[in-house]
A and B are shown apart, each in its own frame.
Chain A
């Protein structure tokens, strides 16, 4: 028996907010240890070249500079291994901790300085003389593959996915629609840059790394393996984390370097990245070119899709290995019936910053491609863009729907969904019909205004497990210990809400511990919108167990029977009695010899699949190519919203990032591979001015059957189809179906498009 829901489903205030508002957060740069040295990375200024010499003599002469390391000093440390989707063929392309013989992108670490403080370390870094013989830089991923080294090609692998008879579908097609589309190079660019502080405690033989994020347990195990230490002798600590978005918390060269140096020099070593470094050294993402074809019948039903794409992974394969192109291929079919499907994804290396995931990885890209295709099919058949989607949607009765594709080690089975219902709700809530007639009138009056729609299926709740331990402390407070992580999304609040209802206490009386490897042995971390689903259900299981134990012990003390007792608001009470003796949780905890504690693990072999609809209305300025978003509406079915306000927050934040990628943000390079987007003045993230007022409709029509609360994830649906919805709206505004083939649609590009008619 569980208490009636009191916190799940309510927009209660966040437990995280107070220290952050008071300026009492503990971000990576806020952590310092007495006697620490600072580390500064000397980075390649050349995109591709052979290292001739590195001379650090002048740097070492500065008082307070203690050491300079190059590749030889870390020769015993292997390249950084893969965390996800690590195909064997990709292994020779892993990044070394410091460049050895060859540099492959501007920003690649070639040496590190260890000095008393950061200003001095920066001075010293400038005195390190790095001589490099330039080689030709590869910058276009769809060109013929080049050589990565003397032997290996710059195409480390090809992703192939599909099902059904694609040849037959195209042979029997009424018509074939073909498009060439590309997505720019973006990144999460959290406001807090990366940082890592390592120290070695000789007394306990423990290596600590602070500033961990996202996947502390995996990083602990990997650091142990790379540094040749027992994993029990390494502890990672997550403090506050200033945004994640996929990029932050992966294991990077700098993380390993601070740890290796702390062991070597027996000094705390602190490294805080600066913004320029972040934009050239931390993971990029998204850049792809697609050649996609659809076979359709006379009514525009899809008979088959055939996609070949080129994925620009930058200079090395980092921890995500083939994750992004794999997800691109696996999630491309989206919410539509696609009877035959083939995707061939070429993973290509170029002389740019290496890549990883960025919020809705592979889906931002494939949703752009798929939804552009749907618009083109609508044009081919002569029906409107809403109708063509309706005709192709997977029906509710087909759920659960086996897609016939795999990704992230799971079979894709859409667990639940009523896509047509959400489309209807989205159109109604956005006032689509009235919007259309208003836009028609304005277009007739000469304005360039238009609307777009895009649909998508998200994935979330990646397993394989999460474990949670819950304890009642002697003062009656409750502590939840989990191996997930927080990147600022509100994990503590959401987990506390779920625990509160299952246990029967107030959510604000619950402390949620995450990201501390010394507090729990195993953990999967925070990525793939997995935390609320996986950790949420593990929490519910552990709390249910703990509640039963508490009531059992209380029954003994109260000379009663556990099944007539209840735990409500930190008090044990008798059911159906309005008065009578009560026992507080604190009293119960004090009465009991051992602390009350329960642990539970939730295992799941399948992901859960939320879905959504985005609707955009834009105005285009004919003279400047400037784009104003007049309205934006998102409908999203989350199965069950634990905290609707936080779900909306996730969606609104995702939209802002999606709009950045659709309209403003892009890492550009000159013809030599010199990065041109190295400050926030070049890499243009949206400000308050660029983000429209947003209407969000959260529905709970399709709870997941894979967990009892029906939970699905919220993290990525705000970003997923934004490029697609905006492109569709711009086409409509300029009266040129299919005009937008490339993201971001900068004013210059749109002006050129309009001039080219």
Chain B
């Protein structure tokens, strides 16, 4: 145990003033201290990607980042994707393509895919497969996730 540090996490445009131990991982801070439980923790080893969030435009595994490292940065989580009642094109595409079953890995995949497509809208199918291979899903067998992300890529390009 060690003393807590005061930091401000900016999640989906809203500031959360919290006090955390330096060792507290970002995923725990987002979930427990800021109450945004849409970000899921699947392994805490940086392998499964369920906890993927977007920090300053980059998809990151929030189990591999300390909360203090994210202070002052712009954090986006799954709760910030939809526009009011309207789903983000990526969320809609997952629904349309049956890209989720239990839904536990889904927020991580959504943030991974959105983060990458915002940066690289014309990503090739091969590169996209490489990116999507960085997260684990145990229900779908991935094909519908790939279909969903390709459909969303098209929709996001407009």
Which residue in B1, B43, B47, B140 is a CB contact (below 8 Å) of A653?
A: B140
Which residue in B36, B87, B104 is a CB contact (below 8 Å) of A191?
A: B104
The secondary structure that dominates the B interface is: loop
Is B65 positioned at the interface, with any CB of A under 8 Å from its CB? no
Contact present for B139 and A243 (CB under 8 Å): yes
Interface-facing stretch out of A73-81, A544-552, A598-606, A677-685: A677-685
CB contact list, A645-704 vs B, under 8 A: 645-646, 648-649, 652-657, 679-681, 685-689, 691, 693-694
Contact present for B139 and A18 (CB under 8 Å): no
Which residue in B50, B94, B107, B145 is a CB contact (below 8 Å) of A688?
A: B145
How many B residues face the partner with a CB closer than 8 A?
Answer: 55
Q: How far is the CB of B105 from chain A (nearest CB, A)?
A: 5
Contact of A23 with B79 at beta-carbon distance under 8 Å, contacts A656-B142, A688-B145 already known? yes
Which residue in B21, B38, B77, B91 is a CB contact (below 8 Å) of A25?
A: B38
CB contact list, A228-249 vs B, under 8 A: 240-245
A240 to B139, CA, bound (A): 14
Contact present for B104 and A190 (CB under 8 Å): yes
Contact present for B48 and A653 (CB under 8 Å): no
Q: How far is the CB of B39 from chain A (nearest CB, A)?
A: 7
Contact present for B37 and A30 (CB under 8 Å): yes
Contact present for A487 and B129 (CB under 8 Å): no
Is B138 positioned at the interface, with any CB of A under 8 Å from its CB? yes
Q: How far is the CB of A685 from chain B (nearest CB, A)?
A: 6
Which residue in A29, A62, A190, A488 is a CB contact (below 8 Å) of B41?
A: A29
Is B14 positioned at the interface, with any CB of A under 8 Å from its CB? no
Is A188 positioned at the interface, with any CB of B under 8 Å from its CB? yes
In the complex, what residues of A have CB within 8 A of residue B37's CB? 23, 25, 27, 29-30
In the complex, what residues of B have CB within 8 A of residue A192's CB? 40, 42, 102, 104
Contact of A681 with B45 at beta-carbon distance under 8 Å, contacts A25-B38, A119-B21 already known? yes
Is A152 positioned at the interface, with any CB of B under 8 Å from its CB? no
Is A497 positioned at the interface, with any CB of B under 8 Å from its CB? no
A9-28 interface bits toward B, Cβ cutoff 8 Å, 1 = contact, 0 = none? 00101101110111111010
Contact present for B1 and A123 (CB under 8 Å): yes
Contact present for A190 and B138 (CB under 8 Å): yes
Contact present for B24 and A119 (CB under 8 Å): yes
Q: How far is the CB of A641 from chain B (nearest CB, A)?
A: 14
In the complex, what residues of B have CB within 8 A of residue A241's CB? 102
Contact of A645 with B98 at beta-carbon distance under 8 Å, contacts A243-B138, A243-B139, A657-B138 already known? yes
Tell me the nearest residue of chain B to A123, going by C-beta: B1
In the complex, what residues of B have CB within 8 A of residue A22's CB? 38, 78-79, 81-82, 87, 91
Is B73 positioned at the interface, with any CB of A under 8 Å from its CB? no
Q: How far is the CB of B156 from chain A (nearest CB, A)?
A: 16
The secondary structure that dominates the A interface is: loop
Contact present for B138 and A646 (CB under 8 Å): no
Is A489 positioned at the interface, with any CB of B under 8 Å from its CB? yes
In the complex, what residues of B have CB within 8 A of residue A27's CB? 37, 40, 104
A627 to B36, CA, bound (A): 41
Is B8 positioned at the interface, with any CB of A under 8 Å from its CB? no
In the complex, what residues of B have CB within 8 A of residue A16's CB? 103
Is A120 positioned at the interface, with any CB of B under 8 Å from its CB? yes
Tell me the nearest residue of chain B to A279, going by C-beta: B43
A300 to B82, CA, bound (A): 61
Q: How far is the CB of B32 from chain A (nearest CB, A)?
A: 8
A20 to B106, CA, bound (A): 8
B1-23 interface bits toward A, Cβ cutoff 8 Å, 1 = contact, 0 = none? 10000000000000000000101
Is A193 positioned at the interface, with any CB of B under 8 Å from its CB? yes
Contact present for A275 and B104 (CB under 8 Å): no
Q: How far is the CB of A693 from chain B (nearest CB, A)?
A: 7
Tell me the nearest residue of chain A to B132, going by C-beta: A688
Tell me the nearest residue of chain B to A489, going by C-beta: B101
B73-100 interface bits toward A, Cβ cutoff 8 Å, 1 = contact, 0 = none? 0000111011000010001001110101
Closest 8 CB pairs between A and B?
A: A23-B38, A488-B102, A20-B103, A242-B104, A23-B78, A652-B141, A656-B141, A680-B47
Can you list 17 A-B pairs with a CB-CB distance of less than 8 A? A18-B95, A21-B91, A22-B82, A22-B91, A25-B38, A189-B138, A192-B42, A242-B104, A242-B105, A274-B44, A275-B45, A648-B98, A654-B141, A680-B45, A681-B47, A687-B135, A688-B146
20 A-B pairs besides A22-B82, A23-B39, A652-B140 with CB distance below 8 A are A11-B98, A13-B95, A17-B103, A23-B36, A25-B104, A30-B37, A119-B1, A188-B138, A192-B102, A193-B42, A242-B40, A242-B103, A242-B104, A653-B101, A656-B138, A680-B136, A688-B129, A691-B142, A694-B141, A694-B143
